[in-house]
Amino acid sequence: MSRDAQECGVNVVIGLIGSKWKPSILWRLAEGDHRFAELRRGVSGISEKVLAEQLRELERDALVSRTAYEGFPLRVDYALTPLGEELNDLLDPVAQWGDAYLADKALEAPGG
């Protein structure tokens, strides 16, 4: 069981962010959107239910932190934790590779 492929860290990271919306949410957070509604608008066609769920999972996984202000019109701030920032940082080259991969594919299959 020592270092079976199943145990490789990539699986861990995929378990953390390998969902349809999490990478997007993480990027948004990194770019400055912090309120629930901002995220909702920024991310896409994500529904409130799913956004709330993903946020909660991210929180449980210590990738983002939630701060609720007792203030007036309900206000909650989400932010990347140091861990989340680390991961986001780490994923940067991966994102670039993915981008390049896509560009490469576009050349091969110019069906548009």
Partner DNA sequence: ACCAGTACGCACAATCATGTGGGTACTGAC
Partner DNA sequence: GTCAGTACCCACATGATTGTGCGTACTGGT
Q: For DNA, what does the binding mask look like between residues 78 and 97, x meaning CB under 7 A?
A: x-------------------
Residue 70 interacting partner from its own copies, DNA, none (CB closer than 5 to 8 Å by kind): none
Please report whether residue 94 would count as binding its own copies according to CB under 8 A: yes
Based on the shown chain and the rule CB under 8 A, indicate whether residue 5 belongs to the binding site for its own copies: yes
Write out the two tokens for 55. 């946020």
Q: Which of 8, 56, 79, 105 binds DNA (CB under 7 A)?
A: 56
Burial 74-98 (b: 16+ CB within 10 A, else e): eeeebebeeebbebbeebeeeeeee
Residues in the chain: 112
Rounded Cα–Cα distance for residues 26 and 52 (Å): 13
Q: Is 105 in the site for DNA (CB under 7 A)?
A: no
Query: Judged by CB under 8 A, which of 25, 51, 58, 80 binds its own copies?
Result: 25
Q: Counting contacts by CB under 7 A, is residue 55 touching DNA?
A: yes
Residues facing residue 66 across a β-bridge: 78
